Amino acid sequence: MANPVPRNRGYRTFMYLPADRVPDVEFGCWPQTVRAWVPDGFPKDWAAEIGENMFHARFNEFIGTDRDEGGAGIPIHLGMDPAFEHKVLEEDALTQIVQDSSGIIARRWKGGVQESSIPQFLEFPVKDRKSWAAMKERYRLDDPARTVSAEAIEKARKAAAEGWTVGAWACGFYGALRNWVGTENLSYLLYDDPALCHEMADHWAELILASLRQVPPDVPIHQFGWWEDMAFKGGPLVSPKTFDDFFVPPYQAVMDEARRHGCMLSHVDCDGNIHGLVASWIRVGVNIMFPCEVAAGTDMFRMRREFGARVRLQGGVDKVAVARGRDAIRRELDRIEPLLAEGGFIPHLDHLVPPDISLPNYMFYREEKKKLIGKRP
């Protein structure tokens, strides 16, 4: 007996199927934000509980997003085995130089401080073919830890039979290589040793496929998610041609396997201006762009003009406008309203909530957005 079409609002929105409304979801918040909100009414004990977690359930509970509708995930086992030793190499009052479990050495802000930024990366574990050979031993395809359990398979089978979505998620190919090599180093290595870069990307694909190929044919995969973060305000960190040469083939291999399980939707989490890569992602079946960062120049209306209903959109509410107050918030929600009428769009803030958005402004945005999507109290 075939599995029913999923009833999840998100799936139905992106498949252009009838739904009572789009889901009310948000992307999370910076830890500094909830700490800054405490004087205005955010519970102090909840802020402490959230700690450094950007996606803590307490945040969603406070702002009143939809509860999880249901579903299951196919675990994709991509962990390093063994991991590197996590150790503090140096520290001062506010920062530490740390070797983390991935082998990256970086200066990082200590947890709990309001001053913060991305880490200052100092050294990456893969530098050449010799260090890649050592790293590859930590990602063996025959590692028993890559087994997808019978329990996980049965949970997915049951969820699908009950009309809920089954999903899977993986770090993307640029993201994996960048985590091993570093952004600047990878920019050179793609030209200095392209064969090595192809080998690393292909191995990452085989690791993902090692999990997917364990999924029985009767178990569907409705949506596959990717994390990349491979763009900035000026555009992608690699050219479209480089992306097509190095990363489209492994993307294609994974998406072809997912499609054997009926996968029709795939989202990519990529900050920055992504316009140079959208055509390539859509070509391989990655068709949900997220979080559509407005200040970086990503234009959802331009993507719809270029790709029509093939491109689905998630996010896209300008966090800068939300920080400016009520009039700017109303204008911003008016701006995105036409996309709701077209379908295939789930609105929320275009990244984590930053500390310059006050709690009153954010909660005003939340109430106005709920009206926009038709969410009843």
Tell me, what's the pLDDT at 118?
79
pLDDT tier, 28 (very low <50, low <70, confident <90, very high otherwise): very high
Rounded mean pLDDT of 265-285?
98
pLDDT of residue 116: 67
Q: Is pLDDT at 75 greater than 70 in this prediction?
A: yes
**Mean pLDDT, rounded, for 50-58:** 93
Domain layout of the chain by residue ranges: 9-79+125-373, 85-124
Report the pLDDT value the prediction gives residue 360, as an integer from 0 to 100.
98
Is the domain spanning 9-79+125-373 CATH 3.20.20.210? The answer is yes
Q: Where does the pLDDT of residue 109 fall: very low under 50, low under 70, confident under 90, or very high at 90 and above?
A: confident
Mean pLDDT of the chain: 96
The per-residue pLDDT for 143 is 96
Q: Can you tell me the distance from the alpha carbon of 30 to that of 67, in angstroms, rounded to the nearest whole number?
A: 21
Q: What pLDDT is attached to residue 111?
A: 73
Predicted local distance difference test score (pLDDT) of residue 115: 62
Please determine, for residue 164, whether its predicted confidence score (pLDDT) is greater than 90.
yes
Res 341 pLDDT > 70 = yes
Which neighbouring-strand residues pair with 349?
317
Residue 209 to residue 206: CA distance in whole angstroms: 5
Q: What is the pLDDT of residue 292?
A: 98
Residues 283-336: tens digit of each pLDDT = 999 999 999 999 999 999 999 999 999 999 999 999 999 999 999 999 999 999
Specify the pLDDT at position 94.
87
Confidence of residue 24 (pLDDT cuts 50, 70, 90): very high
pLDDT digits (tens, 9 = 90+) for 196-221: 999 999 999 999 999 999 999 999 99
Asked whether 224 and 263 are in contact (CB, 8 A), the reply is: yes
Give me the half-sphere count of Cα atoms (radius 13 Å) on the Cβ side of residue 149: 6
Compute the average pLDDT of residues 269-279: 98
Q: Which of 82-96, 172-186, 330-344 is the least confident region?
A: 82-96
pLDDT tens digits for range 33-48 = 999 999 999 999 999 9
Confidence of residue 1 (pLDDT cuts 50, 70, 90): low
In this prediction, residue 170 carries a pLDDT of 98
Within 10 angstroms of residue 146's Cβ, the number of other Cβ atoms is: 19
Stretch among 112-121, 159-168, 231-240, 347-356 having the lowest mean pLDDT = 112-121
For the cut 80, the answer to whether the pLDDT of residue 92 exceeds it is yes
Terminal-to-terminal C-alpha distance of the chain: 38
pLDDT of 119 > 90? The answer is no
pLDDT, residue 113, reads 59
Number of residues in the chain:
377
Q: What is the mean pLDDT of residues 128-157?
A: 97
CA 212 to CA 219: how far, in whole Å? 11
